[in-house]
Amino acid sequence: MSKLGNLGAKLYRGEVGYDFIGKRKIWYGVSILITITAILGLSVRGLNMGIEFEGGATFTTPKTSVSASQAEEYATEASGHAATVQELGTGGLRIQVAGIDTGESDKIKAELSKDMGIPADKINAELVGPSWGQSIANKAWQGLAIFMVLVVIYLAIAFEWRMALAALVALIHDITITVGIYALVGFEVTQGTVIGLLTILGYSLYDTVVVFDSLKEQTKDIEKQTRWTYSDVANRSINSTLVRSINTTVVALLPVAGLLFIGGGFLGAGMLNDISLSLFVGLAAGAYSSIFIATPLVADLKERDPKMKALKKRVLAKRAAAAAKADTAAVVGHQAAGAELDEPDDDAAPAGAGPRSQPSRNRGRGRPSGKRR
């Protein structure tokens, strides 16, 4: 934990960091690929709408020894429609049959009582009309539209329109991915799904606003300096809030994962599956979009502003001048070092010279020639 804290402090001070903005095209490509996959899943498989939206009946049985697969066969034969069966934590079964009316519901209940060996009065039947489900769906779409409009207005007032637009794109990105995962996995869309989708909007927006607030604070009077461009400051804002975003996302995902894998998988709680899957996917997608989509998109939009273009031009010119000055200094230093090495040494023999020739000594100097006496 101390290492993570030190890393967070270094990221906040700008001592270390990852170039999120510089590699934004990669993240855009990944997001487009995921979004296309989600849209294809919706187009090919479609959503498995529950009886709350299509109309039908739900039969809840007490604890029974009949398996879910066997109960599904009984319900399909009795109704003539495809049935969905889920095991409950109480040991009972939840049987859903879509597209039937009240008369068919009573007949199916009697057949299930006979086939499963359960008294008819012990089987609870709930009938839902398609008009009610359509009303719920319309209200959900209306609530989603109103929420997004209010979000855009608030962000445009609190920050600026570019941030509002980027946050809206991130929200649409998160919803599309979550709905696409639902289509690919085949989970049933129920009231819990709608609740989960509306809930993740707030979580997704939370991380985005945290980064935007840091960006707004660090870009005050940015035009008065020539050290950083807007993209540089945006990248620093992401890095300074990165550990915080990761921590909050992990803490939020842990209980949701418990609901999804333990509550839904082992306890067989159907409604928990519907809510937890949308929350789990939405939280992960929201954290991703806040870091890799929303802030880079703001930087892209902001860099189109004439003032930011002029600032970027000044910053790049200053960096180019500093780099040229550094190169010149390096060349001068290199030449000086070379000259020092090339300076002749009086005590050293010239290059290419062999050993010094010693003068020949005339041993017979001062003596007459001839033999010694």
Structural domains of the chain ordered from first start: 24-49+132-314 (1.20.1640.10), 56-128 (3.30.70.3400)
CA-nearest of 65, 81, 21, 38 to 294 is 21
Angle between helices 270-289 and 161-185 (to 10 degrees): 140
Q: What is the pLDDT of residue 221?
A: 84
Please check the confidence at residue 323 and state whether its pLDDT lies above 70. Answer: yes
Please check the confidence at residue 67 and state whether its pLDDT lies above 50. Answer: yes
Q: What is the mean pLDDT of residues 342-363?
A: 48
Q: What is the pLDDT of residue 119?
A: 86
Q: Is the pTM of this model over 0.85?
A: no
- How confident is the model over 228-246, as pLDDT tens digits? 899 999 998 888 888 888 8
Q: What is the pLDDT of residue 71?
A: 86
Q: What is the pLDDT of residue 189?
A: 80
Lowest-pLDDT choice from 24-28, 62-66, 191-195, 270-274: 270-274
Q: What is the mean pLDDT of residues 298-322?
A: 90
Q: What is the pLDDT of residue 350?
A: 45
**Cβ count within 10 A of residue 339:** 9
Burial of 165 (0-12, 13-18, 19+ CB in 10 A): middle
Lowest-pLDDT choice from 162-176, 195-209, 304-318: 195-209
- How confident is the model over 111-157, as pLDDT tens digits? 888 888 888 888 888 877 666 667 777 887 888 888 888 888 988 89
Q: What is the mean pLDDT of residues 341-368?
A: 48
Please check the confidence at residue 344 and state whether its pLDDT lies above 60. Answer: no
More confident residue, 344 or 294: 294
What letter would DSSP give residue 200?
H
Q: What Cα–Cα distance (Å) separates residue 31 from each residue in 36, 37, 286, 297?
A: 8, 10, 12, 12
Q: What is the pLDDT of residue 363?
A: 46
Q: What is the pLDDT of residue 342?
A: 56
What share of the chain has pLDDT > 70, as a percent? 80
